[in-house]
């Protein structure tokens, strides 16, 4: 029952992320318009803050497979729960995108990511931005005394990486968030979805390895 509650929380969190943040992106985002970019970045960061303080005490508020894989690598969850989180996140993202498809005007997008700058540059930017974001998540949640501000730090970090990434790829840093919109957008967005699966997951793994390295407690042998 405890694990089921975690999965439900992850479903809800990812659903809200896609519905609200991708909805804002679909309605207002224009990479040539500073106000639109700022609104989209704040929407993603704001949702994370809201969900962190809503479901964080239940599931940890991963709502992102890249975060979950980093937590798994660092021993923060069991493999069975990792699979459950991934399924819940993808289901939530799909449900959120389905609602967006039903309610948004035909002229609006649904926040699908784009590899218009090229496959390899897109992979690189997604891996780097995801690594930065996940490192912030791991740092903010590493100590219990950070719990009161962790949501703000994580939300702020997501806002920052969006401010740069929107221009290049629309910013994914989250394979589940990209899947729902790509599924309903179809075409090139769906064909290039693998970029927004591989890039963020590589970034998440790198962040986990960097975190382990930085926090390694090496014992010096006494001679």
Per-residue pLDDT tens digits for 75-134? 999 999 999 999 999 999 999 999 999 999 887 889 999 999 999 999 999 999 999 999
Residues 6+ apart with CB under 8 A from 153: 136, 139, 140, 146
Backbone angles phi, psi at 221, to 5 degrees: -75, 130
Q: Is the pLDDT of residue 163 over 50?
A: yes
- Helices 195-214 and 65-73 cross at an angle (nearest 10°) of 30
* CATH classification for the domain delimited by 2-214, as one of 1.25.40.10, 1.20.1080.10, 2.40.50.140, 3.90.550.10: 1.20.1080.10
Placement of tokens 């599931």 in the chain: 59
Whole-model pTM: value is 0.93
């Amino acid at each position: 029952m405890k694990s089921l509650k975690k999965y439900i929380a992850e479903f809800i969190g990812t659903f809200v992320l896609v519905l609200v943040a991708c909805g804002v992106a679909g309605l207002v985002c224009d990479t040539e318009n500073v106000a639109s970019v700022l609104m989209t970045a704040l929407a993603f960061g704001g949702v994370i803050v809201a969900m962190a303080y809503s479901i964080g005490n239940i599931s940890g508020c991963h709502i992102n497979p890249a975060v979950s894989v980093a937590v798994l690598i660092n021993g923060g969850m069991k493999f069975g729960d990792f699979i459950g989180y991934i399924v819940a996140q993808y289901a939530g993202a799909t449900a959120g995108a389905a609602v967006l498809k039903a309610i948004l005007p035909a002229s609006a997008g649904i926040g699908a990511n784009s590899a218009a700058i090229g496959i390899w540059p897109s992979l690189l930017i997604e891996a780097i931005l995801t690594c930065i974001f996940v490192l912030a998540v791991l740092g903010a949640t590493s100590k219990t005394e950070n719990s009161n501000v962790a949501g703000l730090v994580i939300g702020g970090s997501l806002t920052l990486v969006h401010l740069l990434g929107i221009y290049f790829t629309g910013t994914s840093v989250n394979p589940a968030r990209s899947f729902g919109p790509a599924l309903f957008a179809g075409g090139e967005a769906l064909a290039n979805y693998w970029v927004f699966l591989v890039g963020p997951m590589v970034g998440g793994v790198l962040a986990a390895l960097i975190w382990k390295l930085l926090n390694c407690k090496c014992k010096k042998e006494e001679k």
